[in-house]
Amino acid sequence: MQKKSLIRIGTRGSQLALAQASEVKARLAAAHEELRDPDAIEIVVISTTGDRVQDRPLAELGGKGLFTKEIEESMLDTSIDIAVHSMKDVPTILPDGLVIDCILEREDPRDAFISTKAAGIDDLPAGSVVGTSSLRRQALILSRRPDLTVVPFRGNVGTRLRKLDNGDVDATLLAMAGLHRLAIEPAGMAAIPASIMLPAVAQGAIGVERRAADARIAAYLAPLNHGESATRVTAERAMLAELDGSCRTPIAALAKLAGDRLTLYGLIVLPDGTQRHDVTREGAASDAAAIGRAAGQALRESAGSEFFRILESG
């Protein structure tokens, strides 16, 4: 008879999501001898709304929780013990009874520019077509290059790269972290400096969610948490929470640490790129959440009510 798994990991079924779940499984096994048995950890694939609906932009689907809701429901009904998420997909408010207090060491948070026709965004000829499913990427591209055309570009990494190869678009943007985790290096790939394209909040970070009352799982996860990455993600998500951000809101942020000091760069921009507001806040790393909230408040004040009215009507 097959032994019951000690830990059941819930994840989306994409190639990237499975790679991230496998990374968590490997780290758990490395940290705990009893988890090295082949049957000790089970990966459970769960289909989410964001996975099932592929014919519409994410912003049209309602924003928050598109890639997490069904997984969290499975955790609450104890079908799984933990959930592995790309933190950029996780709403700032978690369901009652769930926590994320384990952040793996962050990968490269930058975006990747991919094209065989140009070396970067600034080198694309006027009228070039760029494919992306991200409102943030769309808005920042148009803010910098209003002479380009941006079109919706859904699908997993492989699908998007095939569309690019087929000539559907002249260029596309993906997360460097995802490409690294899949060990993919497409032709014509270049990392975009954060000064040109500020990343999504928590991009490149993997978070592990658990039931708040589950002390057994908390003990298993504790060695996996990377303190510096968690601090950076805390600041960025606090800014996002202050702005009540969703997939309908083009928001970007990146926190950097230098010793015990944290610097947070943030921005909000209209989807058409016509209005952009930037902020920088610095302070003690121990005040990460407060720095994030202050940055969010500053952005809200500098943008003004008219900015958000346009965003909501849009």
CA distances (Å), origin 199, targets 42, 81, 137, 165, 204:
32, 30, 9, 25, 9
**Is 89 marked active-site?**
yes
Q: Which of 39, 55, 77, 89 is catalytic?
A: 89
In one-letter notation, the amino acid at residue 54 is Q
Phi/psi-derived region of residue 63, left when phi > 0, alpha when psi is between -120 and 50, beta in every other case: left
Q: Which residues pair with 264 in a beta bridge?
A: 255, 281
Distance CA 92, CA 298 (A): 19
Catalytic residue annotation? 89
